[in-house]
Structure 1
Amino acid sequence: MKSLEELMLCRNNLSGSIPKDLGELTKLKILYLYSNQLSGPIPAEIGKPVNRSYSSGNRQLDQWKMKSLVELMLNKNNLSGPIPKALGDLTELTILYLYENQLSGPIPAEIGKMKSLVKLSLQRSNLSGPIPKDLGDVGDLTELTILHLYENQLSGAIPAEIGKLVNLVEIDLDTNQLTSHIPPEIGYLINAKWLYAYSNELSGPVPAEIGKMKSLVDLSLHNNNLSGPIPKSLGDLTELTILYLNANQLSSPIPLEIGKLSNLVELDLNTNQLTGHIPPELEVTSLCDLTDFTNLYLYENQISGPIPSEIGKLTNLVVVSLGINQLTGHIPLEIGNLINAKFFYAFENDLSGPIPAEIGKMKSLETLNLQRNNLSGPIPSELGNLNKLNDLVLSENQFTGSIPAIFGNLTNLQTLHLHTNKLSGSIPKELAYLDNLRVLTMTQNQLSGHLPDQLCQGGKLENFTVASNKLTGPIPRSLSNCSSFKWVRFNNNSFIGNLSEAFGIYPELQFIDLSDNNFHGELSSNWGKCENLIDLRVARNNISGSIPPEIGNIQGLLGLDLSSNHLLGQIPKEFGRLTSLTTD
């Protein structure tokens, strides 16, 4: 078989080690052993003589070297140990895939001698040490187009010599432990389309020279420690579709030049220290030229000023995330033009004024979160048109008036947060139509009247809180039988009824507060069957009778407040089992 040129044993269940004798296949051009269960080291014999040579005059010639090898794919096995330095002698090799193994040690500098190499993939192989500068310093890897080193344990700086690999198209260095600055020489890689260096420990500025990489389609530098301003030169990357700079320490305003990125699809600048306004008009063009733009992430910065009305021209936006900033002013009416938006987040800002009725035109919305602002006025009934909504979060504002009955149309709704506002009137019975509702919070309002019947008829309600309102009357039977309850607050109202009849057994219940109401009757032994209960509060009611000893069976109970009632008898000895109880 010494004349064999191709050996393909890939995608089997082969095990054991790679035979060293393969090194004797001197004419072999293609060796595919990938996607097996091979283990042990990569034999150095693949790249060097097998202790045999012959003399020609005064020269010693290597006869058994696999010098004709063009493609070597050993990826997706269980190979271990270091990458043999001898592989550097395979000067005809164009493809070297060793990824997804259990290798160790550094990348050998000798790989820099593989002058024909086009694709080098070493990702997910447990490699450590620095990226050898010899990859570019030797000057031999001029054909290299793909460099995949991601998800290893590589450390040290990105070598400046990488700028000499001028034919690189894909550079993937993410999810390592790389440190120091991004070298400005990176700008010489004018053919690169993908540059991934995210999830490292890179620091310093984003080099302005990246603006010379005009073939870039995807630039992902997120989850590092990069600082300083976003360079204006990034506006020259007119082929760019994805720009991820999030989770760094970038500062200063967003440069207007970003508006020149007419092919941009996703812009993620979240979790930085950016300041200034969201630019309404961006130098050469304007926001409306970003016609393919779908994802805008600016949350958790220090951006101030209003939401520009020009945002309404970005009609292909799917995600708008502006939360945790210092935005002020009204929500612009033009927001209603975002008919393709599925997610709109503007929580934790200083927005004021009413919710514009035009939001009711955003019929693709699945999540609307305006929590923790200074929004006021009534909740517009037009929100009831958003029948794809899963999550509606309007809590911690200053909304007044009643809860719109048309919310009963939002049959896909799973989460409805209305707590901490100034809402009044009764809770509309139409909320009972929301069979998919899991979370309904209405605490700290001025709601009055009875709880509507049939709440929880879908059997999915887990978090139900109506504390600190002016509610009266009995607990509806549908809530008494709501076995899906996990977190419940009825406290600080004027509810009435016999406590032993108003509540049942809740196998998933963790927290319930019934304090400060007008419940009477005795505590039921059923509370002891709520095995996941962490906190039970029934203080300041008209409860009488003895404390049921079954409560002592709730092993994970951290809090129990039965104070200011009319309880009689002894403290059950079973309470000695409540070793997890804590004090506030």
Structure 2
Amino acid sequence: MAHENDTIYYICLVILFTVTFASTEEATALLKWKATFQNKNNSLLASWTLSTDACRGWYGVICFNGRTNRLKITDAGVIGTLHDFPFSFLLFLEYVDLSMNQLSGDLTELESLHLYSNHLSGPIPSELANLKNLFDLELCDNRLGGSIPITLGDLTQLKILYLYSNQLSGPIPSELLSGSIPASFGNLRNLHSLHLGDNKLSGSIPITIGDLTELKSVQFYLNQLSGPIPSELGNLKKLTYLDLSDNQLSGPIPVSFGNLRNMQSLYLGTNKLSSSIPKEVAYMDNLVVLSISYNGFSGHLPERLCKGGKLENFTVASNKLTGPIPSSLSKCSSFKWVRFNNNSFIGNLSEAFGIHPELLFIDLSDNDFHGELSNNWGKCKDLIDLQVARNNIGGRLPQINQIFYVMK
């Protein structure tokens, strides 16, 4: 019995020694990285010393079974590079957040990787594809350049990918968005968010985006994307946010968008889109924002827009739209910010709009409205800006308090 107890004691002692050694080795590696910082006297990292326990007293370090498991030093004022970051020593590291520091240089490896809002430059390393368990990659708001590496398509566990606000250029590689498993971006079936806005991406939107049916948010704004909006985007029934604005997209809004019943914010403004607005857009009855200004849309607005009673921001300025305002919009009680300006809408202004209790701003200028301004506008208690310039409006000015309106 005594011999058995001695054996258990010996095993526990070995385990304790192994964990202690591993923790000391990891601490030493992190201190060597800290020694490369330009600001070595960083106050938040003053706790990083060999005389303290890295797993108990070090800022931003969380351990599991005596091994470094999480490292979070976000917004810690670190000025340095990732060249000497001890990835190879931190074998049990599962989570790193180094965001909002002044890190520079190229990247190497990891699993959940947040490096947004830094000064990272150079290309996105293709070696990231070696991180087979990576599910969250956030590289936005840096100075990364070049094209998006094809190898990102190998990250089959990826759920979140943020690359916006960089200097990325070239087309989105077709290899990322089509082909067989595992080389295809279209096979990233767990992806929830895809943010590639504010880069220099060109080419068309691949139809295999429609295969990513877990997507809830897609942002491709401020790029140089061209061609039609793929009808396959109508397969993304969980989508709540879609921003394709400020590109060179052409053609109509796909009728398949009527399937996007969870959509809350749809931004298609500043493109080359044309044709009439399909009636299926009105099927998106959870819309809060519908922004399609600065395109070439023509014809009448669809009936039943705002039938869900949630539409707050509605902008169709600078198109070629005609006809009267549909009754569903003229009575939309949820309106806050509305732009109908620079089209060819017609109708009696005193009859075309009801009472909008939440309305803050409305621009009706540069159309063919006629009639008089109704006193009903005075019942919009929060309205601060009513623009009706360059129409065919006559009659007396109504009693409207606390409103700035333009009729010139």
Q: Deviations over 1:170-205 (max 9, x none)?
A: 34536xxxxxxxxxxxxxxxxx7449xxxxxxxxxx
Q: Decide which of 498, 507, 515 is 2:348's aligned counterpart.
A: 498
Alignment of 1:302-321 (within 5 A): 302-321=143-162
Alignment of 1:57-136 (within 5 A): none
Residues 326 and 339 (structure 1), Cα distance of their counterparts in 2 relative to 1, 3 Å cut = same
Aligned to 2:119: 273
Aligned to 1:562: 407
* Residues 1:220 and 2:72 are matched in the alignment: yes
The count of residues paired between Structure 1 and Structure 2 equals 356
Aligned to 1:515: 365
> In the TM superposition, what is the alpha-carbon distance from 1:159 to its structure 2 partner?
4.2
Question: Could you tell me how far apart the structure 2 residues matched to 1:324 and 1:336 are?
Answer: 23
Question: 1:441, 1:466 within 8 Å by CA — same for their partners in 2?
Answer: yes
Q: Decide which of 236, 244, 248 is 2:101's aligned counterpart.
A: 248
Question: Could you tell me how far apart the structure 2 residues matched to 1:161 and 1:481 are?
Answer: 63
* Residues 1:164 and 2:51 are matched in the alignment: yes
Amino acid at match of 1:318: K
Q: Secondary structure at the match of 2:185?
A: helix
Residues 171 and 343 (structure 1), Cα distance of their counterparts in 2 relative to 1, 3 Å cut = farther
Amino acid at match of 2:124: I
Q: Deviations over 1:143-193 (max 9, x none)?
A: xxxxxxxxxxxx956447831234x4234536xxxxxxxxxxxxxxxxx74
Residues 156 and 242 (structure 1), Cα distance of their counterparts in 2 relative to 1, 3 Å cut = closer
Aligned to 1:446: 296
Residues 379 and 157 (structure 1), Cα distance of their counterparts in 2 relative to 1, 3 Å cut = closer
> In the TM superposition, what is the alpha-carbon distance from 1:367 to its structure 2 partner?
0.2
Q: Deviations over 1:261-320 (max 9, x none)?
A: 4xx2x100000010011111x2xxxx3442221111100000001111111111111110
Percent sequence identity is: 53
> In the TM superposition, what is the alpha-carbon distance from 1:459 to its structure 2 partner?
0.6
Aligned to 1:296: 137
List runs of 5+ in structure 2 lacking aligned partners.
1-41, 178-183
Q: Deviations over 1:355-410 (max 9, x none)?
A: 11111100000000011111111111110000000001000000011111110100
Question: Could you tell me how far apart the structure 1 residues matched to 2:118 and 2:145 are?
Answer: 14
Alignment of 1:24-43 (within 5 A): none
Question: Could you tell me how far apart the structure 1 residues matched to 2:56 and 2:279 are?
Answer: 58
Aligned to 1:388: 238
> In the TM superposition, what is the alpha-carbon distance from 1:215 to its structure 2 partner?
2.8
Question: Could you tell me how far apart the structure 2 residues matched to 1:438 and 1:371 are?
Answer: 19
Question: Could you tell me how far apart the structure 1 residues matched to 2:252 and 2:45 are?
Answer: 59
Aligned to 1:455: 305
Alignment of 1:37-56 (within 5 A): none
Question: Could you tell me how far apart the structure 2 residues matched to 1:411 and 1:156 are?
Answer: 50
Question: Could you tell me how far apart the structure 2 residues matched to 1:430 and 1:158 are?
Answer: 56
Range with greater deviation from structure 2 (308-317 or 368-377): 308-317
Aligned to 1:42: none
Question: 2:47, 2:59 within 8 Å by CA — same for their partners in 1?
Answer: no
Aligned to 2:263: 413
Q: Secondary structure at the match of 1:273?
A: coil
Q: Secondary structure at the match of 1:408?
A: helix
Question: Could you tell me how far apart the structure 1 residues matched to 2:288 and 2:73 are?
Answer: 37
Q: Deviations over 1:318-346 (max 9, x none)?
A: 11000100011112323212110111111
Amino acid at match of 1:247: M
Amino acid at match of 1:269: L
TM-score, structure 2 length as denominator? Answer: 0.84
Question: 1:172, 1:194 within 8 Å by CA — same for their partners in 2?
Answer: no
Residues 292 and 534 (structure 1), Cα distance of their counterparts in 2 relative to 1, 3 Å cut = same
Q: Secondary structure at the match of 2:273?
A: strand
TM-score, structure 1 length as denominator? Answer: 0.59
Question: Could you tell me how far apart the structure 1 residues matched to 2:47 and 2:222 are?
Answer: 46
Aligned to 1:540: 390
Question: Could you tell me how far apart the structure 1 residues matched to 2:207 and 2:337 are?
Answer: 33
RMSD: 1.8
Alignment of 1:134-173 (within 5 A): 156=43, 158-159=45-46, 162-166=49-53, 168-171=54-57, 173=59
Residues 158 and 244 (structure 1), Cα distance of their counterparts in 2 relative to 1, 3 Å cut = closer
Aligned to 1:327: 168
Amino acid at match of 2:99: N
Question: Could you tell me how far apart the structure 1 residues matched to 2:271 and 2:398 are?
Answer: 38
Residues 159 and 279 (structure 1), Cα distance of their counterparts in 2 relative to 1, 3 Å cut = closer
Aligned to 1:234: 86
Question: 1:436, 1:460 within 8 Å by CA — same for their partners in 2?
Answer: yes
Question: Could you tell me how far apart the structure 2 residues matched to 1:331 and 1:341 are?
Answer: 17
List runs of 5+ in structure 1 lacking aligned partners.
1-154, 175-191, 196-213, 564-584
Q: Deviations over 1:25-68 (max 9, x none)?
A: xxxxxxxxxxxxxxxxxxxxxxxxxxxxxxxxxxxxxxxxxxxx
Q: Secondary structure at the match of 2:153?
A: helix
**Where has structure 1 moved over 4 Å in runs of 4 or more?**
155-161
Which structure has more relative contact order (CA 8 Å, sep 6+)? It is: 2
Question: Could you tell me how far apart the structure 1 residues matched to 2:386 and 2:237 are?
Answer: 36
Range with greater deviation from structure 2 (334-343 or 478-487): 334-343
Q: Secondary structure at the match of 1:162?
A: coil
Amino acid at match of 2:113: L
Question: Could you tell me how far apart the structure 2 residues matched to 1:311 and 1:399 are?
Answer: 25
Question: Could you tell me how far apart the structure 2 residues matched to 1:319 and 1:215 are?
Answer: 27
* Residues 1:472 and 2:325 are matched in the alignment: no
> In the TM superposition, what is the alpha-carbon distance from 1:560 to its structure 2 partner?
1.6
